[in-house]
Amino acid sequence: MRSLKTNLFIFLFFLIARHAFAQQPYKITYQQLKEYEGVYQYGKEDKLQIAASPVDTCLVAIIKLSVYPLKGSGKDIFLDIGKNKITFLRNASNQIISYTKGNDTNKLITRNVTFPPQMWYPRLVANVKTYQYKYGRPAKLKDGLQPGDATAVGLDTALLDKMMNKIVQGKYPNVHSVLIIKGGKLVFEEYFYEYTKDSLQEMRSATKSMVSALTGIAIHQGFIKSKNETVLSYFPEYNLANNTDIKKTITIENMLANQSGLDCDVSNPKSEGSEEAMDASDDWVKFTLDLPMIDKPGNDGRYCSGNPITIGRIIEKATHMALSAFGQKNLFGPLGITGYKWNFKPDRSNINEYCQIYLHPRDMAKFGLLYFNKGVWNNKQIIPADWVTASFQKHSVVQGVDYGYLWWLKYLDADGGVRYYGKAAQGNGGQKIYVFPDQDLVVAITGGNYNTKSPSDELISKYILPSFNKK
């Protein structure tokens, strides 16, 4: 007869083993994953693609330019990054015909789809383990950027060689491009996966910094009298909910600094102004302005996408121009930026674009260089210098980080404790435009690490900033 101690040990072992077994990921082969591939309906009007990744044996959902992983959880069941269940349905012949997510069912439109091998690998090389990067000077194009040689500006190319080798080996996945401007010249430019200099990149929330630039231009040109104008004065047509005397005091500056006081905070799941709730509304500006006040304008900073969207609409109303048209005339055109895409339409029809701009990486770098040069491009003042200065000053603290006018005021630590202070336009996935005034440095990085941690900051702090450190 077993002792009580022995029985207890067996019982605990059984519980641990059962728990460990339950935690095992669902096993599925690459060939099994391929039967889910195809083009599917996505919502009422859009489409998405489902592809099988040969790299990490998972499915990915491709929406526009964004790629989201789906991890196997059970027979025909996958989980997205938010742990939402995606269930594929089959017909009587055991063929995939649709998938469900929540209460929505999206039909398979066609299985006739192919995916290039470049989308899975940073570089198509014979052997990533033996790959050795060799630095090359960026090409000179007719886009206004002057190329330069890295060694001529004192860059430690050994560190950048190491960074490139790590990216190609897959140590930093889903990095699409890395560009470096030093001394006003483009000294480093590399692309990965299927991305090239001609690829448009989603800017996501980095778009906010461009809205800030256009706000400064609109004020300078007299379309908007000042940053102190009240927001609600631009929307007399709205019969707003929760319309209090305090709400009527919200200024354009409050929204630029994310200090509107509205109940809108992406980091608070209980916030009434969640992006998911805004997505479903017919008018995103009215949705934002309908929100209750939870703070006095100008107090605490809260990250709210409704703020820059509202400012964008104010620019349109003040200038009587579409935001993209005003930008083309006063910002993108003077910078020689062409081929960009910007569908600023703040309502549910824009749920997959989210009013963001799409830019080429070299144009991102030019935007950063423009701010580094205090708004001057080719000896012409594009953005007022005092607006650039004000945008780079601390006006609030958002998510624990100092914040200007729709610019993040961040520092990165490198070199065993050396602190570098920069200004950043940044967006989900790893879209970064960093300006480091003290280092005479601009860095532009794009990526596809959506809704998860991006390696962009680590690449900058570990390999790029130390390359220029003046010890």
Asked if 80 and 70 count as a contact pair (C-beta separation under 8 A), the reply is yes
| Closest alpha carbon to 426 in 453, 462, 393 | 453
pLDDT tens digits along 232-241: 999 999 999 9
Backbone angles phi, psi at 352, to 5 degrees: -100, -10
CATH topology of domain 30-115: Lipocalin (2.40.128)
Question: What is the mean predicted confidence (pLDDT) over 384-403?
Answer: 98
Provide the total of helices (H) and of strands (E) in the chain, helices listed first.
Answer: 12, 21
The pLDDT of residue 45 is 79
Domain with CATH 3.40.710.10 in the chain: 201-406
Average pLDDT, the chain: 93
For residues 102-118, average pLDDT? 95
Give CA–CA dist 326/332, Å, rounded: 9
Q: Is beta strand 175-182 parallel, antiparallel or unpaired with respect to 441-447?
A: antiparallel
Under 8 Å between Cβ of 186 and 146: yes
How much is the CA Rg of the chain, to the nearest whole Å?
Answer: 25
What is the tens place of the pLDDT at every residue in 154-203?
888 999 999 999 999 999 999 999 999 999 999 999 999 999 999 999 99
Whose tokens are 């728990």? That residue is: 19
- Amino acid in position 263: D
How sure is the predictor about 43, in pLDDT bands with cuts at 50, 70 and 90? confident
Res 268: pLDDT: 94
3-state secondary structure of 323: helix
The torsion angle over the Cα atoms of residues 299, 263, 403 and 276, rounded to 10 degrees, is 180
pLDDT, residue 15, reads 42
pLDDT at 5: 40
Q: What is the predicted pLDDT for the residue at 24? A: 54
Residue percentage of the chain with pLDDT more than 70? 94
Report the pLDDT averaged over residues 399-414.
97
Q: How far apart are CA 308 and CA 419, in angstroms?
A: 30
Using the Cα atoms of residue 445, residue 278, residue 305 and residue 222 in order, give the sign of their dihedral: positive
pLDDT at 386 over 90: yes
Q: Which residue has the tokens 């100008």?
A: 298
Q: What span, in angstroms and rounded, lies between the C-alpha atoms of 125 and 309?
A: 43
State yes or no: pLDDT of 287 exceeds 90: yes
State the pLDDT at residue 197. Answer: 97
pLDDT at 27: 84
Average pLDDT over residues 270-297: 96
pLDDT digits (tens, 9 = 90+) for 289-312: 999 999 999 999 999 999 999 999
| Closest to 227 (Cα-Cα) out of 235, 237, 219 | 219
- For 201-406, CATH gives 3.40.710.10
Residue intervals in the chain for CATH 2.40.128.50: 30-115
Q: Which pLDDT belongs to residue 469?
A: 64
